[in-house]
Amino acid sequence: MSLLATNNATSTGSSSSLAGIIATKPDLVPSIIFIIAFTVLAPLAAWRLISTASRSGVLIRPAIFSLIRIGTYVVRAIEANGNYSTGIVAAELVLLNAGTILLAEPLIELIKRLLETHIPYNGPVVSGRRGRKAGRQDEVGLLSRVLKVALLAMIAISIYSSTQVGDAFKDPDAAKTVVTTRKISAIILVAVLAIAVLGLLYFHIQHRFPSRALYFLLVISVLLEVTAAYRLASAAGNAGVRNHTAFWLASSLPEWLVTAAFFSTNINTLIPSKPAQGPGAYSMTQQAEPHHHGQYPDP
């Protein structure tokens, strides 16, 4: 099967869904634009990670994502110049598949941080076999665990899918496996983002989070949901999204905006780390800050 033929939609089924939108000559300019756009974020990312005031482990994954996307668009630029070798297309598939998780995970972590910081918890903290704290045993803890398990499942599926890409263009069964795992991964991502947003809004109604933090998380969630929905439609072979404009507007642009949002904001100021857990921890915090119940002034 010719990869170029796949790009021109002359092939069908799993192979067509597998290849996706292979870059052509008109994609060269947008590929260069996004290479520059993500490269511009590099100094800002470095500053956020080095600065004591803004340093946060949450930003490590978006920084890695930026490097992955630079590599992705370098590969697409090579494709746009007419190189449709199996290795090039396989590299693009792996890079595209690995990316979005690195933005979804820090979003979930920040939502968890906001909830645990602003929602009092005086219940017991269960310790694991090695004496490690296992986290909250309430609705917030349940939501956090559900989202974490879903993300871990998505990571495992994506890794497995990536191991099959090398054989996918010559083995129909491997191609079907890659297409199926891409669909499952996209479905999980759509569901995770939807559950995270619904959970955030549900708890906001009860506890009234700071508006800037809430809007920041909601905007990022919506942008990633757009990308996830596009990926799902593309993996499902929806002809309406299998065009180059849709790829750049529904996938590349939202991802860049989310990455820029992470690095242009001081996460530690916007969403401070949670206070210590355990009986009495929150009551002590509330004595020091009587407006703890969601009435903080906006950072």
For residue 270, the surrounding DSSP H or E stretch is helix 267-270
Q: What values do phi and psi take at 271, rounded to 5?
A: -135, 85
In whole angstroms, give the CA distance from residue 252 to residue 69: 9
Choice among 62-71, 72-81, 82-91 with the minimum mean pLDDT: 82-91
111 and 200 in contact (C-beta within 8 Å)? Answer: yes
**CB count in 10 Å sphere of residue 37:** 19
Q: What is the C-alpha separation between 164 and 245, in angstroms, rounded?
A: 28
- Distance (Å, whole) CA 97 – CA 228: 11
CB proximity list for 65: less than 8 A, separation 6 or greater: 99, 102, 103, 255, 259
Which of 73, 108, 118, 105 lies closest to 92, judged by CA? 73
Q: Do residues 19 and 89 make contact, with C-beta atoms less than 8 angstroms apart?
A: yes
Residue 256 pLDDT? 97
All domains in the chain, ordered by first residue: 3-121+136-275 (1.20.1070)
Largest Cα–Cα distance in the chain? 69
Query: Which has the closest alpha carbon to 196: 294, 65, 292, 105?
Result: 105
Residues near 11 by Cβ (< 8 Å), separated by ≥ 6? 1, 2, 5
Average pLDDT for the chain: 80
pLDDT score of 10:
32
pLDDT at 231: 87
Dihedral sign for Cα 96, 249, 220, 257, please: positive
Q: Which candidate, 38, 16, 22, places its Cα nearest to that of 259?
A: 38
pTM of the model: 0.81
Separation of alpha carbons 199 and 118, rounded Å: 14
Confidence tier at 98 by pLDDT (50, 70, 90) = confident
Confidence check: pLDDT of 281 > 50: no
Question: Token pair 């969601």 is at which residue?
Answer: 294
pLDDT (tens digit per residue) in 113-170: 999 888 877 666 655 556 556 667 778 888 888 999 999 999 898 888 888 877 777 7
User: Tokens 């630079």, residue?
Assistant: 70
Confidence of residue 246 (pLDDT cuts 50, 70, 90): confident
Q: Tokens representing 210?
A: 């700071």
At CA 109, angle to CA 107 and CA 111, rounded to 5? 70
* Token output for 272: 């401070």
Residue 295's CB is within 10 A of a number of other CB atoms, namely: 13
